[in-house]
Amino acid sequence: MNLKHRQKIRLDPEIYRTPDLPCFVTIATKGKQAIFSNQHLADNFVALLRTACKENNIPLYAYCIMPDHAHFLLSASETKGIIEFVREIKSRSTRIAWQHGYGGSIWQRSFYDHFLRQDEDCRMVANYIIHNPVRNSIVEHWRDYPFCGSLVYEL
Protein backbone atom coordinates (compact mmCIF):
# COMPACT_ATOMS: atom_id res chain seq x y z
CA MET A 1 0.00 0.00 0.00
CA ASN A 2 1.46 3.36 -1.06
CA LEU A 3 0.81 5.95 1.64
CA LYS A 4 2.68 8.77 -0.05
CA HIS A 5 0.45 11.82 0.09
CA ARG A 6 1.42 15.42 -0.41
CA GLN A 7 0.03 17.55 2.34
CA LYS A 8 -2.02 20.44 1.05
CA ILE A 9 -0.18 23.57 2.13
CA ARG A 10 -2.40 26.22 0.55
CA LEU A 11 -5.65 27.67 1.81
CA ASP A 12 -8.72 28.05 -0.39
CA PRO A 13 -7.52 29.66 -3.66
CA GLU A 14 -10.02 32.53 -3.32
CA ILE A 15 -8.27 33.90 -0.23
CA TYR A 16 -5.15 34.50 -2.33
CA ARG A 17 -7.22 36.68 -4.69
CA THR A 18 -8.84 38.77 -1.95
CA PRO A 19 -7.73 42.43 -2.14
CA ASP A 20 -6.77 44.23 1.08
CA LEU A 21 -6.03 41.00 2.97
CA PRO A 22 -2.34 41.28 3.98
CA CYS A 23 -0.23 38.16 3.59
CA PHE A 24 3.31 37.61 4.91
CA VAL A 25 5.21 35.62 2.25
CA THR A 26 8.64 34.04 2.59
CA ILE A 27 10.44 32.60 -0.43
CA ALA A 28 13.71 30.71 0.03
CA THR A 29 16.38 30.30 -2.61
CA LYS A 30 17.06 26.80 -3.88
CA GLY A 31 19.39 25.02 -1.48
CA LYS A 32 19.42 28.18 0.68
CA GLN A 33 22.16 29.57 -1.59
CA ALA A 34 23.09 33.16 -0.70
CA ILE A 35 22.63 34.44 -4.26
CA PHE A 36 21.43 37.84 -3.10
CA SER A 37 24.84 38.47 -1.58
CA ASN A 38 25.47 39.60 -5.16
CA GLN A 39 24.48 43.25 -4.74
CA HIS A 40 23.78 43.80 -8.44
CA LEU A 41 21.39 40.84 -8.48
CA ALA A 42 19.73 42.03 -5.25
CA ASP A 43 19.36 45.56 -6.70
CA ASN A 44 17.80 44.14 -9.86
CA PHE A 45 15.45 41.96 -7.83
CA VAL A 46 14.28 44.91 -5.73
CA ALA A 47 13.71 46.95 -8.91
CA LEU A 48 11.75 44.06 -10.44
CA LEU A 49 9.65 43.65 -7.28
CA ARG A 50 8.82 47.34 -7.04
CA THR A 51 7.98 47.59 -10.76
CA ALA A 52 5.84 44.43 -10.75
CA CYS A 53 3.88 45.67 -7.73
CA LYS A 54 3.18 48.99 -9.41
CA GLU A 55 2.25 47.32 -12.73
CA ASN A 56 -0.19 44.99 -10.97
CA ASN A 57 -1.48 47.43 -8.30
CA ILE A 58 -0.19 45.09 -5.59
CA PRO A 59 0.10 46.84 -2.21
CA LEU A 60 3.60 46.02 -0.94
CA TYR A 61 3.48 46.92 2.75
CA ALA A 62 7.04 45.69 3.33
CA TYR A 63 9.81 43.72 1.66
CA CYS A 64 13.23 42.48 2.69
CA ILE A 65 15.61 40.64 0.40
CA MET A 66 18.07 38.63 2.47
CA PRO A 67 21.03 36.74 0.98
CA ASP A 68 19.15 33.41 0.81
CA HIS A 69 15.46 34.33 1.06
CA ALA A 70 12.93 37.11 0.57
CA HIS A 71 10.09 38.40 2.74
CA PHE A 72 7.07 40.30 1.46
CA LEU A 73 4.00 41.66 3.17
CA LEU A 74 1.48 42.25 0.41
CA SER A 75 -2.13 41.91 -0.66
CA ALA A 76 -3.76 40.79 -3.88
CA SER A 77 -5.06 43.43 -6.25
CA GLU A 78 -8.27 43.41 -8.26
CA THR A 79 -6.33 41.96 -11.20
CA LYS A 80 -3.60 39.76 -9.69
CA GLY A 81 -3.71 37.18 -6.90
CA ILE A 82 -0.84 36.49 -4.53
CA ILE A 83 -0.04 33.03 -5.91
CA GLU A 84 0.08 34.35 -9.47
CA PHE A 85 2.15 37.33 -8.39
CA VAL A 86 4.71 35.21 -6.52
CA ARG A 87 4.92 32.82 -9.48
CA GLU A 88 5.55 35.78 -11.80
CA ILE A 89 8.21 37.29 -9.53
CA LYS A 90 10.00 33.96 -9.21
CA SER A 91 9.99 33.45 -12.97
CA ARG A 92 11.10 36.96 -13.89
CA SER A 93 13.81 37.03 -11.20
CA THR A 94 15.15 33.67 -12.36
CA ARG A 95 15.68 35.13 -15.83
CA ILE A 96 17.50 38.08 -14.26
CA ALA A 97 19.70 35.68 -12.27
CA TRP A 98 20.62 33.89 -15.49
CA GLN A 99 21.93 37.21 -16.80
CA HIS A 100 24.18 37.30 -13.72
CA GLY A 101 25.64 33.87 -14.46
CA TYR A 102 23.32 31.66 -12.39
CA GLY A 103 21.88 28.56 -14.04
CA GLY A 104 18.67 26.67 -13.56
CA SER A 105 16.10 27.48 -10.92
CA ILE A 106 17.12 29.86 -8.14
CA TRP A 107 14.04 29.38 -5.93
CA GLN A 108 12.68 26.56 -3.83
CA ARG A 109 9.56 25.04 -5.35
CA SER A 110 6.96 26.63 -3.07
CA PHE A 111 6.72 29.46 -0.56
CA TYR A 112 5.52 30.02 2.97
CA ASP A 113 2.55 32.29 3.59
CA HIS A 114 0.68 33.63 6.60
CA PHE A 115 -2.42 35.78 6.28
CA LEU A 116 -2.60 38.39 9.01
CA ARG A 117 -5.38 37.90 11.52
CA GLN A 118 -7.58 40.78 12.62
CA ASP A 119 -5.56 41.20 15.82
CA GLU A 120 -2.26 41.51 13.90
CA ASP A 121 -1.27 45.06 13.02
CA CYS A 122 -0.02 45.36 9.44
CA ARG A 123 2.40 48.19 10.24
CA MET A 124 3.94 46.20 13.12
CA VAL A 125 4.47 43.18 10.84
CA ALA A 126 6.00 45.49 8.22
CA ASN A 127 8.43 46.81 10.84
CA TYR A 128 9.26 43.25 11.85
CA ILE A 129 10.10 42.39 8.22
CA ILE A 130 12.34 45.39 7.57
CA HIS A 131 14.28 44.73 10.78
CA ASN A 132 15.32 41.26 9.59
CA PRO A 133 18.85 42.43 8.59
CA VAL A 134 19.30 43.95 12.07
CA ARG A 135 18.22 40.73 13.82
CA ASN A 136 20.67 38.83 11.59
CA SER A 137 23.54 41.24 12.48
CA ILE A 138 24.00 42.38 8.88
CA VAL A 139 23.48 46.05 9.75
CA GLU A 140 22.91 48.07 12.92
CA HIS A 141 19.95 50.01 11.52
CA TRP A 142 17.51 48.77 8.88
CA ARG A 143 17.87 51.99 6.85
CA ASP A 144 21.50 51.00 6.23
CA TYR A 145 20.30 47.91 4.35
CA PRO A 146 19.41 48.79 0.74
CA PHE A 147 17.20 45.77 0.06
CA CYS A 148 14.19 46.44 2.29
CA GLY A 149 11.42 48.98 2.45
CA SER A 150 7.76 49.61 1.71
CA LEU A 151 5.67 50.93 -1.16
CA VAL A 152 2.81 51.76 1.23
CA TYR A 153 4.23 53.02 4.52
CA GLU A 154 6.71 55.72 5.49
CA LEU A 155 8.74 53.55 7.87
What are the structural domain ranges in the chain? 22-149
How much is the pLDDT for 2?
52
**What torsion, rounded to 10 degrees, do the Cα atoms 86, 138, 131, 22 define?**
10
Along the 155 residues of the chain, how does pLDDT read in single tens digits?
A: 455 555 556 678 899 999 999 999 999 999 999 999 999 999 999 999 999 999 999 999 999 999 999 999 999 999 999 999 999 999 999 999 999 999 999 999 999 999 999 999 999 999 999 999 999 999 999 999 999 999 999 97
How much is the pLDDT for 134?
98
Q: Which fold does the domain 22-149 belong to in CATH?
A: Alpha-Beta Plaits (3.30.70)
Give strand pairing partners of 62. 73
